[in-house]
Chain A
Amino acid sequence: MSGDRSTERMAFTFGGYLLDVLPALLIVVFGDAFMVGLLAVMGLSVAAIAVVCALPLLCLVVVLIWDYARKHRFWAQACFAAAEMEDARTFVELVERPSFMDGRLAFDMAASVAGCGAQQMTRILAQSSAQREYTELWAHEIKGPLAAARLAASGMHGESASALSEQLERIGAYIDQVLYAARAESVENDYLIRDVGLLDLCREACKQNMRSLVAHGVALDFDIPAETRVFADSAWLSFVISQLVLNAAKYDSTHIRFSSRDEQAETPYGHTVLEVADDGCGVPAADTPRVFDRGFTGEVGRSHGSATGMGLYLVAIMCAKMGLGIVFASEEGKGSRVTISFPHDRRLIRLTTM
């Protein structure tokens, strides 16, 4: 929001009001002074002059106070609403339509501007939802030809066939990124939290990207008990893991280690922690706090080329939506470590997502 929405700048003060009506005030006071002089010349007694000239001034004070009071009532409401409201459409409900003319005009204009904004907003929302629908449809459609191409490549052998399969796998990963970007950034929540086997899910996510991982010479190590189960949407979590291992491979890792442990078990805050640690080039300390920002590529991303700054951003918002905690730690030159924590209590998941 713009900096204009501060209560200091938008306030209806008595001083400001007086300054506003100063010309009118001066005219009345001068007129009154002139009348005092005129009556004195005409030889009226001091008492008579005082009575005659005090009356208009008294009336003026009464009029000013009455006018200030009714205007203040409206403008205080309007200023507060304008500074605090979250949705322009609520202005007409928060503020009472005033009885004086300029206030009415201002109110009607504000209502009209809000209505105009609301119309625009409705149009943009419809557009973005249509765009999202098309993106999803496209992603589903393109998977048909991609599946056919992968099957065709699987029948071929040798270096160029491996290279082809690897590139097809990369295309698939990029398509998933588009699909999840369309989903994760929308207001609708179409994911399904179920309990999933952590070891199988991590292995499967790695297999989905095995050609890239193998081509980069990455070795994997799983230290997750086979019976470990966590609450998550399996497709979403699989996407998250894919992004993590692809990042690790891209940034020069030779080894990725998956491990899990339970923390504070048997308490209401019990959770399972999944740690994905690599021995890649890591991220400079200055860049670490921003790795989850949208479009952030950083020094490492730029030096390795082809960083979109979308991967970890999507990872962060998808984890947030599923109610999972995610932490990124890194030491430059030594590697990175991502920990994801899965609350044991499903109610906690819902609490944090709401």
Chain B
Amino acid sequence: MSLIYIIEDDVALRRELVNLLELQGFDVAFCEGFSHAASDALAASPDCILLDLKLPSDDGRVSGHSICREIRRTSEVPIIVLTSVGDDFSEVMALKLGAHDFIHKPYRPAVLMARIEALISRAERGAHGGTGSAGEAIERDGVSLDLRTSSVRFEGKASLLTRNELRILALLMRNPGTVISRSEIMCDLWESDAFVDDNTLTVNVNRLRKKLDGLGIDSDFLQTRRGQGYLVR
């Protein structure tokens, strides 16, 4: 499991970051004070560091930039810098000091996750020559969704899914028993550059339902809640 280290002074934001990352299956560590942030972070030997550039500096010496520089002196761990939009100088400076990427507040969670995953898998590929951790399977009620091959399996039979169908089913199966609204599904598809409209979503869901039927999956598995959204048991 990958460990993310957070260096961020806004307590509420840090708490939500921790929640989000833990929900996504990461281990998370963070520091409360910032005078030894760099050595604390390195001691935890994380797979990725999220670093806020604007930190309180009692003695005027600790800043995101100096922490970034200090970490780089001994480690090549991926660093993602968190900034407010439009602070061009800080961004360029951070990249020059060895940050891998930056992201503007208030970031969309999907973007943050995508950047973290991309950096970690790039670092892993660099280190082990492996293929990264993109492939995983989600299982629910005997229905198994293979994200790597984009296929759904049930009782020995398999069916290939299109990109949109895969994304819809993955979102629903990751949140079993929860009604996911149509707009939430559409936003999730938009994140993957599939800018579908309402009609296209209906078509996609109907096709998905047909494929599930074809595998002999109970029609109760994917339920429609009129006016609310969709639900996987």
Contact = CB atoms under 8 A, between A and B. Distances in A.
B147 interface: no
Nearest to A220: B195
Interface stretch (B35-43, B116-124, B174-182, B206-214): B174-182
Contacts of B106: 143, 146-147, 150, 168, 172
Q: Helix, strand, loop or mixed for chain A's interface?
A: helix
A236 B169 CA distance: 36
Contacts of A166: 183
| Range of interface residues on A (Cβ < 8 Å) | 35 or more
- In the A-B complex, the 4 residue pairs with the closest CB atoms: A219-B197, A147-B106, A151-B16, A220-B195
Contact of B108 (A139, A149, A150, A215): A150
Chain B: interface residue count, which band?
Answer: 35 or more
Contacts of B181: 157-159, 161-162
B13 to A, nearest CB: 4
Interface string A136-161: 00011001111111111011011101
Contacts of A219: 195-197, 200
Interface in A174-209: 176, 179, 183, 190, 192, 203, 206-208
A288 B105 CA distance: 35
Contacts of B109: 150-151, 154
A147 B193 CA distance: 22
A143 B229 contact: no
B16 A207 contact: no
Given A139-B84, A147-B16, A235-B85, 11 more contacts: A140-B54, A140-B84, A147-B105, A148-B10, A155-B19, A157-B175, A157-B178, A159-B228, A161-B184, A214-B183, A219-B196
Given A158-B179, A206-B190, A222-B195, A151 B20 contact: yes
Contacts, number: 109
Contacts of B96: none
A207 B183 contact: no
B12 A144 contact: yes
B179 A151 contact: no
A157 B105 contact: no
B26 interface: no
B86 interface: yes
A205 to B, nearest CB: 12
A158 B228 contact: yes
A206 B191 CA distance: 10
Contacts of B88: 190, 192, 235
A208 B229 CA distance: 23
A52 B20 CA distance: 110
20 contacts: A147-B13, A147-B107, A148-B12, A148-B13, A150-B109, A152-B19, A157-B181, A158-B179, A159-B228, A159-B229, A162-B181, A162-B184, A179-B86, A206-B190, A210-B190, A217-B198, A219-B195, A219-B196, A221-B195, A235-B104
A211 interface: yes
Given A150-B106, A151-B17, A154-B20, A162 B195 contact: no
Interface in B145-199: 175, 178-181, 183-184, 186-187, 190-191, 193, 195-198
Contacts of A214: 183, 186-187, 190
Nearest to A221: B195
Contacts of B178: 157-158
Interface in B72-129: 84-88, 104-109, 111
B191 A207 contact: yes
B23 interface: yes
Contacts of B229: 158-159
B83 to A, nearest CB: 9
B183 A162 contact: yes
Q: Which of B15, B19, B84, B200 has the most CB of A within 10 A?
A: B84
